[in-house]
Structure 1
C-alpha cells in the first residue's frame, strides 16, 4: 500500500442479508471512519463509499458502495480498508500513525543500531514496537516516552533507552 493511504478499518464479515458488512474501525473516534471515505482496498483497485448503520459488537453495521448481497459482503471478510492520508487529522507532536513508524531504524542512546521497527502492536496495555534485530530475531520494545524518548520521522530513526538486559 502506498504511503499516501493508511489502514483505517477492516471487514469482520457480513451483517444481515442485504449486503451490509460488520466494519471494525481502527480510528481513535470509531465513527470517524465514514468521514474518511471513499475507502480503498489494500491494492487500491477498489473504492468504497461508506454509510454507517447501527453499532454492533466491535464495530458497526455498514453499507459499502457496490456491495448488495450477503455473498459479496462475506467475500470481503478480513479485507482491510484504507483512507487517503490527506483526509486524516494531523496529529500532535507526540503521536504517530503506526505506518509512519514501520521501517524506522532504532538506535540506543549511544548511537548503536538495535534494529528496525517491523510492526506496532497493542495487546491492551499500550503500544509495543516490534523490532527486527540483525542476527538476533525479533524483540518487543514498549512505546513509552521513557523507553523511546525520540522519534525522528524526517531522519528515519527512533532513539530508544531500554533498560539494561532487555534485549539479551
Structure 2
C-alpha cells in the first residue's frame, strides 16, 4: 500500500475527519468516490461491538479548511464517535495503481525506502527507513546499524544523486549532520 494520508481528529459532529496529507495529489487521491485502503490491523476494537475500521474507505466529500487542513467525509462515517475510531488510521492506494513519476527528479516514497545510503566517497552509511514530510523539506530517515537514526534533508545540495537501478542514494552531508 502506498500511504496517501493519515486520519486525524474528528471535525464537528457529523463524521468529518482531518487528514494529514502524504501525497502530492490530494485532489486526485481524496476525490469523491475514491476508494482508499486502510492499514491492516488499524485501531483494533477494545471490546466486542466497538467500531472496527474497514479494509477500505470511500471518500464521500473532501474540502480544504482555512487553506491548510484537509477535511474528509467517508461513506458510512456518520457521527463523531465513528470518526474518532478512525483516528490514526493510515489510508492509501495500491502501488500497482500508481504511475511512476514523469519527472526524473521526482520519486514516490516507496521507491526510496530500503535503498542503501552512501557518501560521495562510497562509504556505506545505512539505508532509508522512511521519508518524513516536514513543512520546510522532506527528510530521509537514515537507519544506521547499531546507531541512532539520522534525518537528512532531501535537497539537491545534500542528496545529489538517486540511483534507483543501482539501489542507492548518494549523500554529501555537511559536517556534523551525521553526528546528531
Aligned length: 164
1:157 aligns with 2:153: no
1:49 aligns with 2:58: yes
The RMSD of aligned alpha carbons is: 2.4
Q: TM-score, normalised by structure 1?
A: 0.81
Partner of 1:7: 3
Gaps of 5+ in 2: 42-53
* Contact 1:52-1:60 at 8 Å conserved across structures: no
Partner of 1:33: 29
Superposed displacement of residue 107, structure 1: 1.0
Partner Cα separation in structure 2 for residue 55 and residue 164 of structure 1: 40
* Contact 1:117-1:131 at 8 Å conserved across structures: yes
Q: Residues 73-120 of structure 1, C-alpha deviation per residue, up to 9 Å, x if partnerless?
A: 111012111112344353111111123212211011222211111222
Partner Cα separation in structure 2 for residue 139 and residue 23 of structure 1: 27
Alignment equivalent of 1:24, drawn from 20, 32, 35? 20
Partner Cα separation in structure 1 for residue 34 and residue 155 of structure 2: 32
Distance 1:124 1:17, change over 3 A: closer
Gaps of 5+ in 1: none
Partner Cα separation in structure 2 for residue 152 and residue 30 of structure 1: 27
Distance 1:29 1:82, change over 3 A: closer
Alignment equivalent of 1:88, drawn from 98, 105, 126? 98
Write out aligned runs for 1:92-103 (5 A).
92-103=103-114
Partner of 1:108: 119
Distance 1:165 1:48, change over 3 A: closer
Greater per-residue strand proportion: 1
Q: Residues 98-150 of structure 1, C-alpha deviation per residue, up to 9 Å, x if partnerless?
A: 23212211011222211111222243221221212223322222212222222
Distance 1:136 1:22, change over 3 A: closer
